[in-house]
Protein backbone atom coordinates (compact mmCIF):
# COMPACT_ATOMS: atom_id res chain seq x y z
CA UNK A 1 0.00 0.00 0.00
CA UNK A 2 2.84 2.35 0.86
CA UNK A 3 4.46 1.61 -2.49
CA UNK A 4 1.18 2.37 -4.20
CA UNK A 5 0.82 5.69 -2.30
CA UNK A 6 4.46 6.55 -3.00
CA UNK A 7 3.99 5.69 -6.66
CA UNK A 8 0.74 7.71 -6.77
CA UNK A 9 2.51 10.67 -5.11
CA UNK A 10 5.44 10.32 -7.50
CA UNK A 11 3.07 10.29 -10.49
CA UNK A 12 1.32 13.41 -9.19
CA UNK A 13 4.67 15.19 -8.81
CA UNK A 14 5.69 14.04 -12.29
CA UNK A 15 2.38 15.31 -13.70
CA UNK A 16 2.94 18.72 -12.00
CA UNK A 17 6.46 18.89 -13.44
CA UNK A 18 5.18 17.97 -16.91
CA UNK A 19 2.47 20.65 -16.70
CA UNK A 20 5.05 23.17 -15.54
CA UNK A 21 7.46 22.29 -18.36
CA UNK A 22 4.66 22.45 -20.92
CA UNK A 23 3.44 25.78 -19.51
CA UNK A 24 6.96 27.25 -19.61
CA UNK A 25 7.45 25.99 -23.16
CA UNK A 26 4.13 27.47 -24.27
CA UNK A 27 5.01 30.79 -22.58
CA UNK A 28 8.39 30.87 -24.35
CA UNK A 29 6.75 30.15 -27.69
CA UNK A 30 4.14 32.84 -26.99
CA UNK A 31 6.86 35.37 -26.06
CA UNK A 32 8.78 34.64 -29.26
CA UNK A 33 5.60 34.87 -31.34
CA UNK A 34 4.55 38.10 -29.58
CA UNK A 35 8.02 39.59 -30.05
CA UNK A 36 7.95 38.82 -33.75
CA UNK A 37 4.52 40.39 -34.19
CA UNK A 38 5.22 43.42 -31.99
CA UNK A 39 8.70 43.81 -33.45
CA UNK A 40 7.25 43.98 -36.93
CA UNK A 41 4.63 46.49 -35.83
CA UNK A 42 7.18 48.63 -34.01
CA UNK A 43 9.69 48.61 -36.87
CA UNK A 44 7.09 48.99 -39.63
CA UNK A 45 7.09 52.80 -39.21
CA UNK A 46 10.89 53.23 -39.18
CA UNK A 47 11.83 54.99 -42.41
CA UNK A 48 13.95 53.05 -44.85
CA UNK A 49 15.47 56.02 -46.60
CA UNK A 50 18.88 54.70 -47.54
CA UNK A 51 19.68 55.18 -51.21
CA UNK A 52 20.42 52.39 -53.64
CA UNK A 53 23.60 54.22 -54.64
CA UNK A 54 26.19 52.88 -52.21
CA UNK A 55 28.70 55.65 -53.05
CA UNK A 56 26.32 58.28 -51.63
CA UNK A 57 25.69 56.22 -48.50
CA UNK A 58 29.42 55.55 -48.03
CA UNK A 59 30.33 59.22 -48.36
CA UNK A 60 27.70 60.20 -45.78
CA UNK A 61 28.59 57.42 -43.32
CA UNK A 62 32.33 58.17 -43.70
CA UNK A 63 31.69 61.83 -42.83
CA UNK A 64 29.59 60.83 -39.79
CA UNK A 65 32.33 58.46 -38.59
CA UNK A 66 35.03 61.09 -39.16
CA UNK A 67 33.08 63.55 -36.98
CA UNK A 68 32.17 60.86 -34.43
CA UNK A 69 28.48 61.60 -34.84
CA UNK A 70 25.23 60.20 -36.25
CA UNK A 71 23.37 60.93 -39.46
CA UNK A 72 19.63 60.33 -39.69
CA UNK A 73 18.66 59.74 -43.32
CA UNK A 74 15.01 60.70 -42.82
CA UNK A 75 16.11 64.34 -42.42
CA UNK A 76 18.05 64.58 -45.67
CA UNK A 77 17.01 66.97 -48.42
CA UNK A 78 17.41 65.75 -52.02
CA UNK A 79 17.38 67.48 -55.40
CA UNK A 80 18.00 65.84 -58.77
CA UNK A 81 16.02 67.68 -61.40
CA UNK A 82 18.58 70.16 -62.73
CA UNK A 83 21.84 70.25 -64.65
CA UNK A 84 24.23 72.30 -62.52
CA UNK A 85 27.51 71.32 -64.22
CA UNK A 86 26.27 72.18 -67.74
CA UNK A 87 26.74 68.78 -69.40
CA UNK A 88 23.07 68.32 -70.33
CA UNK A 89 22.41 65.63 -67.70
CA UNK A 90 20.68 65.95 -64.33
CA UNK A 91 22.94 66.09 -61.29
CA UNK A 92 22.25 64.85 -57.77
CA UNK A 93 22.34 67.09 -54.70
CA UNK A 94 21.83 66.04 -51.09
CA UNK A 95 21.94 68.05 -47.88
CA UNK A 96 22.57 65.99 -44.75
CA UNK A 97 23.37 66.72 -41.12
CA UNK A 98 25.73 64.97 -38.74
CA UNK A 99 24.51 65.27 -35.16
CA UNK A 100 26.20 64.67 -31.83
CA UNK A 101 29.66 65.29 -33.24
CA UNK A 102 32.66 64.36 -31.12
CA UNK A 103 30.82 61.44 -29.50
CA UNK A 104 27.62 63.04 -28.36
CA UNK A 105 27.95 66.79 -28.04
CA UNK A 106 24.90 68.90 -28.74
CA UNK A 107 26.43 70.21 -31.97
CA UNK A 108 25.27 69.47 -35.50
CA UNK A 109 27.00 70.20 -38.79
CA UNK A 110 25.17 70.34 -42.13
CA UNK A 111 26.74 69.44 -45.47
CA UNK A 112 25.89 69.98 -49.11
CA UNK A 113 27.02 67.10 -51.34
CA UNK A 114 27.01 67.61 -55.09
CA UNK A 115 27.22 64.56 -57.35
CA UNK A 116 27.81 65.95 -60.81
CA UNK A 117 27.84 63.84 -63.92
CA UNK A 118 31.15 65.34 -65.09
CA UNK A 119 33.34 64.98 -61.99
CA UNK A 120 34.34 61.59 -60.63
CA UNK A 121 34.16 62.53 -56.96
CA UNK A 122 31.36 64.30 -55.12
CA UNK A 123 31.91 67.86 -53.97
CA UNK A 124 31.25 68.22 -50.24
CA UNK A 125 30.82 71.58 -48.50
CA UNK A 126 30.02 72.39 -44.90
CA UNK A 127 27.03 74.75 -45.16
CA UNK A 128 25.77 75.25 -41.62
CA UNK A 129 25.98 74.31 -37.99
CA UNK A 130 24.27 74.83 -34.69
CA UNK A 131 24.19 78.56 -33.94
CA UNK A 132 24.63 79.52 -37.60
CA UNK A 133 21.85 78.16 -39.84
CA UNK A 134 19.65 75.19 -40.63
CA UNK A 135 18.91 74.23 -44.24
CA UNK A 136 15.22 73.89 -45.14
CA UNK A 137 15.24 73.49 -48.93
CA UNK A 138 17.19 73.36 -52.19
CA UNK A 139 16.61 75.30 -55.42
CA UNK A 140 18.74 75.43 -58.54
CA UNK A 141 19.08 78.38 -60.93
CA UNK A 142 21.46 77.76 -63.81
CA UNK A 143 24.80 76.76 -62.31
CA UNK A 144 23.88 78.00 -58.83
CA UNK A 145 22.50 76.01 -55.90
CA UNK A 146 20.35 78.08 -53.56
CA UNK A 147 19.85 76.69 -50.07
CA UNK A 148 16.80 77.99 -48.24
CA UNK A 149 17.73 78.50 -44.62
CA UNK A 150 16.63 79.47 -41.17
CA UNK A 151 19.30 81.69 -39.62
CA UNK A 152 19.77 82.40 -35.93
CA UNK A 153 18.81 85.86 -34.73
CA UNK A 154 20.48 87.15 -31.57
CA UNK A 155 17.30 86.51 -29.60
CA UNK A 156 16.82 82.91 -30.85
CA UNK A 157 17.51 79.98 -28.54
CA UNK A 158 20.07 77.49 -29.87
CA UNK A 159 17.31 75.03 -30.75
CA UNK A 160 15.28 77.26 -32.97
CA UNK A 161 16.55 79.60 -35.68
CA UNK A 162 13.75 81.82 -36.95
CA UNK A 163 15.03 84.21 -39.64
CA UNK A 164 14.22 83.01 -43.19
CA UNK A 165 17.13 83.49 -45.54
CA UNK A 166 19.13 81.75 -48.25
CA UNK A 167 22.72 81.05 -49.18
CA UNK A 168 23.89 80.53 -52.77
CA UNK A 169 26.71 78.33 -54.04
CA UNK A 170 27.91 78.30 -57.61
CA UNK A 171 29.91 75.62 -59.36
CA UNK A 172 33.40 76.77 -60.27
CA UNK A 173 35.46 74.00 -61.84
CA UNK A 174 35.39 71.24 -59.20
CA UNK A 175 34.34 73.42 -56.27
CA UNK A 176 31.15 74.88 -54.86
CA UNK A 177 31.87 78.47 -53.91
CA UNK A 178 29.57 80.50 -51.69
CA UNK A 179 28.35 83.66 -53.42
CA UNK A 180 28.59 86.74 -51.25
C-beta pairs of 59-66 under 8 Å, 24+ apart in sequence: 59/113, 59/122, 59/124, 60/94, 60/96, 60/113, 63/98, 63/111, 63/124, 64/98
pLDDT value of position 41: 43
Tens digit of each residue's pLDDT (9 = 90 or more) over 122-131: 999 999 999 9
Does residue 135 contact residue 149 with C-beta atoms inside 8 Å? yes
Q: How far apart are CA 167 and CA 147, in angstroms?
A: 5
**Residue closest to 146 by CA, chosen among 166, 126, 164, 132:** 166
Is pTM beyond 0.85? Reply is no
pLDDT value of position 94: 94
DSSP conformation class of 172: E
Binning pLDDT at 50, 70 and 90, where does residue 102 land? confident
DSSP conformation class of 51: -
pLDDT value of position 23: 59
Q: How far apart are CA 159 and CA 153, in angstroms?
A: 12
Q: How far apart are CA 23 and CA 174, in angstroms?
A: 68
Mean pLDDT over 83-107 rounds to 89
Mean pLDDT over 41-46 rounds to 46
Amino acid sequence: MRKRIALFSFNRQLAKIERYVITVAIMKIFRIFAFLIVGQLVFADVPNCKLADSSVEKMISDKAMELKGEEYCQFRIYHSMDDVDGDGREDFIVVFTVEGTDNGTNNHITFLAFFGTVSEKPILNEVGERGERDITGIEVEGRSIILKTLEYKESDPMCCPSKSSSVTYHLSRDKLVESK
